[in-house]
Amino acid sequence: MKTLLRTLVIVSLFFVVTKSQAQISVGGGLWYGSDINTIGISANGKYSFNEKWSAAPAFTYFFEKDYVKWSALDFDANYNITELENVGTLYGIGGLSVTFWKVDFDGGTIDMGEFGSYDLDVDASGSDVGVNLGIGLNVAASEKLAIAPEIKYTISDGGYLRLGAKILFGL
């Protein structure tokens, strides 16, 4: 898994270095994860190869809920489907997602009398690799600022739907 992530980062950096005419945007976002059932914040990037295709890496940290911490690392590609008059550009989303989870519960010790005492400590973590599919709308607020609401589903063993929006600033 580490080799796959390292390879994707190197390939992404290669494109950034070799395509100086491409548009690069960075920003943040706010998300809701359906099965995670909590809100998250994200750091987002966007690298436009041409008028139709762009790469959109992101990292989302979901706020802890019920002793579980979630985060997601996404390597998405966006394809501009159509321009909606006076609104923005509708785009499709497809990509790879790695969702990380960690449970850290220190429930203390339960004394069950003659049956003994038991610790209720749970410390577990893991990750799931999945595929992202979704749709978004790129709304230009100015020449260098865009707002992009999105909805995407991560298909994996622990699949979930994400609803949210990101704000991107052009560099």
The yes or no reply on domain 24-98+124-170 and CATH 3.30.70.100 is no
pLDDT at 17: 47
Phi-psi region of 88 (alpha: psi -120 to 50; beta: other; left: phi over 0): left
The more confidently predicted of residues 117 and 64 is 64
Q: What is the DSSP letter of 19?
A: -
pLDDT at 146: 95
Domain boundaries, the chain: 24-98+124-170
In the numeric block, which tokens belong to residue 109? 């010790």
**pLDDT band, residue 130 (cuts 50/70/90):** very high
pLDDT at 12: 55
Percent of the chain predicted with pLDDT > 70: 81
For the whole model, what pTM was predicted? 0.78
pLDDT at 107: 72
pLDDT at 27 over 70: yes
Nearest CA among 170, 130, 115, 128 for reference residue 148: 170
The per-residue pLDDT for range 149-163, each reduced to its tens digit, is 999 999 998 899 999
The per-residue pLDDT for range 36-55, each reduced to its tens digit, is 899 999 999 999 999 999 99
The per-residue pLDDT for range 118-129, each reduced to its tens digit, is 677 778 899 999
pLDDT at 61 over 80: yes
Instruction: Show Cβ contacts of residue 77 under 8 Å, excluding neighbours closer than 6 positions.
Output: 53, 54, 55, 56, 93, 94, 95
